Amino acid sequence: MRRLLGCLLAIAWSTQLLAQQVDSTGVVLALNWKPEPQFGGFYAAQMQGYYQDNNLDVSIIEGGSGTPTIQMLAAGKVDYAIVSADEVVIAHARGATNIVALFATFQISPQAIMTHAERDFTSIEEILHSDGVLLWQAGLPYSQYLKKEYAPIKAFTAPYLGGIGSFQNDSKISQQCFISSEPLTAVAAGLKIKTFLVADSGYNPYTTVLATTSERWTSSPSEIKAMIAAVRSGWNNYLEKPAHTNSAMQALNKAMSAETFGQSAQAQKELIRTKTTAHIGEMTLARWQTLGDQLLDLKIIQNPVSAKDLFIDLEPKYKAPQAQ
């Protein structure tokens, strides 16, 4: 009984810590979605005390559908924000050149296309050239890339409105997904599926990117180095032992089951720590340059951007604590 009470008190404490309100004396990190495994390392850094170890007081605020984190960051409403790499490039092209990326969680983008296994597709190209239906957000850069890469498209395309309801009811429907989200829901519903990463087609922007402003880098470089170190420690911890952080996140996001939290955390591991990853969150000039060139070719941006100005390239100078 004492052990059970201790566990309950620990979870309650963790939940209170994660749900803390914005502290005007600390720094604020804005997420672009609700607490889920894609943010596990940021929460683990809070739970394991890595922010505190680096003299940081970080308040995490969750987002939702369409949360404009990059605009919030540019306007000075928050100190740090989670964005996508293509958002950073587009922001620079539109004049918000003070946005800088610090840490790229996903080295391989989790954006994917999900199909019914019975369709026996072997690639995204086959899906786009089939007589089926593809549900996606046509305005997103990845879909514009695929439309150009595999033109002309034969499949009928329609807007993706979320969930798997339409997909579940029609075997001819394929849909966009995150590899660590909708496919798990589909399998849990008894569907046999296949998924194809968009990255394998050549469009692979960094995803779940921690960003701040160049003004903050100029005024508080030590804080930013500490933030990167704490976040990297959090992700190293979460990738090895996600269960405790998952329990605390689930208390904030009851729509996701404990089982799904665990499955999602496992599904994303190889996209975050790849076979060639030297340091969690690392970024390269070549990757940023490729992304900028792709968005320019797609006419999503009208003028080239300076790849070196999109991110801050820091080798880890703080030793990451071992997972506990």
Per-residue pLDDT of 243-268, as tens digits, reads: 999 999 999 999 999 999 999 999 99
Residue 254 belongs to some domain of the structure = yes
Q: Is the pLDDT of residue 3 over 60?
A: no
Report pLDDT digits (tens) over 200-242: 999 999 999 999 999 999 999 999 999 999 999 999 999 999 9
pLDDT at 7: 40
Do 51 and 9 touch, CB atoms closer than 8 A? no
Rounded to the nearest angstrom, the gap between the alpha carbon of residue 294 and the centroid of all alpha carbons in its chain is: 20
Q: Are residues 116 and 167 in the same domain?
A: yes
Residue 322 belongs to some domain of the structure = no
In this prediction, residues 74-100 reach a mean pLDDT of: 97
In this prediction, residues 269-293 reach a mean pLDDT of: 97
- What per-residue string of b and e applies to 291-306 under the rule 16 or more CB within 10 Å gives b? bbebbbeeebbeeebe
**For residue 125, what are the contacts with CB-CB under 8 A and spacing of at least 6?**
150, 201
Percent of the chain whose pLDDT exceeds 90: 88
Q: Are residues 223 and 274 in the same domain?
A: yes
Report pLDDT digits (tens) over 20-48: 433 334 999 999 999 999 999 999 999 99
Q: Is the pLDDT of residue 68 over 50?
A: yes
pLDDT at 66: 86
pLDDT at 65: 83
Last residue of a domain, one of 166, 201, 236: 201
As given in the structure block, the two tokens for residue 193 are 């599926």
Q: Is the pLDDT of residue 276 over 60?
A: yes
Residue 87 belongs to some domain of the structure = yes
Query: In the sheet that 207-213 helps form, which strands lie side by side, from edge to edge?
Result: 58-61, 27-30, 80-83, 207-213, 99-106
Which band of pLDDT confidence, cut at 50, 70 and 90, is reported for residue 315? low
Report pLDDT digits (tens) over 117-131: 999 999 999 999 999
Which CATH number characterizes residue 252's domain? 3.40.190.10
Q: Is the pLDDT of residue 19 over 60?
A: no
Residue 4 belongs to some domain of the structure = no
pLDDT at 314: 84
Q: Are residues 161 and 143 in the same domain?
A: yes
Rounded to the nearest angstrom, the gap between the alpha carbon of residue 293 and the centroid of all alpha carbons in its chain is: 22
Q: Are residues 73 and 160 in the same domain?
A: no
For 28, the 3-state DSSP assignment is strand
pTM: 0.89
Which band of pLDDT confidence, cut at 50, 70 and 90, is reported for residue 8? very low
Give the DSSP letter of residue 118. G
Last residue of a domain, one of 170, 201, 232: 201
Number of structural domains, the chain?
Answer: 2
Structural domain of 197? 111-201
Residue 318 belongs to some domain of the structure = no
